[in-house]
Amino acid sequence: MKNDDGSLRPLHFSRSFELPRARSVRKARLYVTAQGCYHASINGQSVGDQCMAPGWQSYKYRMHYQVYDFEALLETNGANLITVDVAPGWFASVLAWVDGRRCLFGDELGLLAQLHVSFKDGDAKTFVLGTDGQWQCQCSRITSSEIYNGEVYDMTFESAPVTRGEAQSTNSRTNSQAVKVVSFDFAKLVSPNAPPVRVTEAVRPVSIFESASGKTIIDFGQNLFGWLQIFELRKRAGHVVRFRHAEVMENGELGVRPLRHAKATDTIICNGETLTN
């Protein structure tokens, strides 16, 4: 699905599964990669601490995959839900400064994943769940997400499920649709040869002030790579909050001229409810 500006809309993949009852889990691992950047969760809790995975690479020739241990996230009653959000990332975002070219590696976001769960009772049989036609897919509140242009988070849109109960709700079933299963060259899969991107620190603003044009400037005192943490935000339904990012000031205002065509803007469309973290 594409937005009006031609960008690919991020997708929310989900699959519910049940483990054999009355069996203790010995080890659970998730092997995963994506055409785009992904964030995986089990029962609403993040799997691992990596960011922007699988990272920047030449998708036509190789795809890095990640491996996560997640036994601590499994429900003991057998009912579980895995969700994976996939955004364009380097796979399909605008990467050229001049002509705004998108989809340099492809025009469809994709997910490849496999879960392995083994048990403590000595049975050599392992529970295996892969990406197949049983998965569901739908759009989420993140309606746009690109490397140079930032994200749009629309709170007025129906929230995508992150727990099994939410996945079974009427609204979720109505909004979900079956995935399209495509062929894949598994020979392209390689393990990463560099450390992953992780959150290493939280940086607080050194000053907050109003510019001559009336804009609120939030100065973090350094150039950095990261994203904003919004502790709490509540505005009337339809109210739009925008955060524009830049590296320098220019004539007392945010210096966006060096960004060329990059929007570097995060947008929140409010729905009257409180947004936290």
Instruction: For domain 11-145+158-197, give the CATH number.
Output: 2.60.120.260
How far, CA to CA in Å, does 92 sit from each of 34, 38, 109, 139?
A: 12, 13, 8, 17
Q: What percent of the chain has pLDDT over 90?
A: 73
Q: pLDDT class for 170, splitting at 50, 70, 90?
A: very low
Burial class (CB in 10 A: 0-12, 13-18, 19+), 24: exposed
Residue 127 tokens read as 């529970």
* Cut 0.85: pTM above it: yes
Query: What DSSP letter does each residue of 11-36 carry, written as one string?
Result: EEEEEEEEPPTT--EEEEEEEEEEES
Mean pLDDT (whole number) for 174-184: 86
CA 105, 106, 109, 114 torsion-angle sign: negative
Q: 4-8, 37-41, 186-190, 230-234 — which is least confidently predicted?
A: 4-8
- pLDDT tops 70 at residue 62: yes
- pLDDT tops 60 at residue 172: no
Q: Which amino acid is at 36?
A: G
Span 233-267, pLDDT tens digits: 999 999 999 999 999 999 999 999 998 888 999 99
Domain ranges within the chain, ordered by starting residue: 11-145+158-197, 199-269
Q: What percent of the chain has pLDDT over 70?
A: 92
Mean pLDDT (whole number) for 206-222: 95
Q: Are strands 66-69 and 63-64 parallel, antiparallel or unpaired?
A: unpaired
